[in-house]
Amino acid sequence: MASTEFGRTVRLWRDRVSPEAAGLPGGGHRRAAGLRREELALLAGISVDYITRLEQGRAANPSEQVVEALGRALRVSAAEREHLFQVAGLVPPGRGMVPTHITPGVHRMLDRLAGTPVAVYDAAWNLLLANPLYAALLGDPSGWRGNERNGVWRNFVGPGSRVRHTPEERRTFEATLAADLRVTASRYPADQGLRRLIADLRASSDRFAELWDSGAVAHHEAARKTVDHPQVGAVTLDCDVLGVAGNDLRIMVYTAEPGTRDAERVALLGVLGTQALVD
């Protein structure tokens, strides 16, 4: 019964979200009143087949990660997010867990920054949402799963990023990431996912383990970064990390000084998009 109600809820709420409201191109003949299944799948990072089975009640017991991803893609309110977990047969994440809910207000703010590379991370540096220009600049994250979506993991264990670092800058950046994650861990000691991430990092990276065991605490702050892009070349931008009061989200914004070559290259990325740019 829970799986049927969950699928029905997703289907109804999909109809009320227009492609434009979700940052996707609209227009043309559309049978769906709101998002198509393919569009919801793209936004949530879930296969179209799985969404179809969920909506038809043929797939049961969606995971917390799936429910959370669908809630973000459907732009639900806090009360709706709680309802979505309940009809999935799950207990909504409570206090003591790293918040991952993106409020409608934050969604609207991101909509108004369509010409700026912007991404939303949680307090543990898990990527929750990236707009198309951010994906074009730093690589398309739509295929990332699990720890791949965590910025700390990608920099210590995974492929890193397109951001250029000198050896000294790299060491400083790694130390800041580890110290920042320690602050989050002390704030959310009951979050099992965060504890697993830290254990995985310590087991997979001697450098992270060394920094973690040092006990340092710090906050990741704004910086000026140069991104080596495979098509448009080097782009130097200001990277600001903005906090969202009340839910500990981090909004990462990349901006270029107007009238510069860097601004022109960001504008070019808006035209190129992520076609043939997937990492």
Structure pTM? 0.77
The predicted structure's pLDDT at residue 278 = 37
Structural domain count of the chain: 2
Q: Which domain holds residue 24?
A: 2-87
**Considering only CA atoms, which of 198, 113, 96 is closest in space to residue 156?**
198
What is the predicted pLDDT for the residue at 276?
42
**CATH for 79:** 1.10.260.40
Regarding whether 140 and 237 lie in a shared domain, the answer is yes
Residues of the chain with pLDDT under 70: 1-3, 26-29, 32, 274-279
DSSP 146: G
240, 197 contact by CB (below 8 A) = no
The pLDDT tens digits for 246-259 are: 788 999 999 999 99
Kindly state whether residues 136 and 19 are assigned to the same domain. no
What gap in Å lies between CA 51 and CA 262, rounded to an integer?
A: 40
**What pLDDT, in 10s, does the model give residues 51-91?**
999 999 888 889 988 998 999 899 888 888 888 988 898 87
Name 168's Cβ contacts closer than 8 Å, sequence gap at least 6.
none
Is residue 152 located within the same domain as residue 76? no
Same domain? 136 vs 263: yes
Domain boundary pick from 31, 52, 87: 87
- d(C-alpha 6, C-alpha 55), whole Å: 7
Q: State which amino acid sits at residue 41.
A: A
Residue 53 lies inside a defined structural domain of this protein? yes
- 29: exposed, middle or buried (Cβ count in 10 Å: 0-12, 13-18, 19+): exposed
**CATH label of the domain that carries residue 143:** 3.30.450.180
Cα 146 to Cα 162: distance, rounded to the nearest angstrom: 20
Amino acid, res. 58: R
Question: What is the token pair recorded at 263?
Answer: 């601004």
* 87, 122, 143 - which closes a domain: 87
Do both 121 and 255 map to the same domain?
yes
Burial grade of 221 (CB within 10 A; 0-12, 13-18, 19 or more): exposed
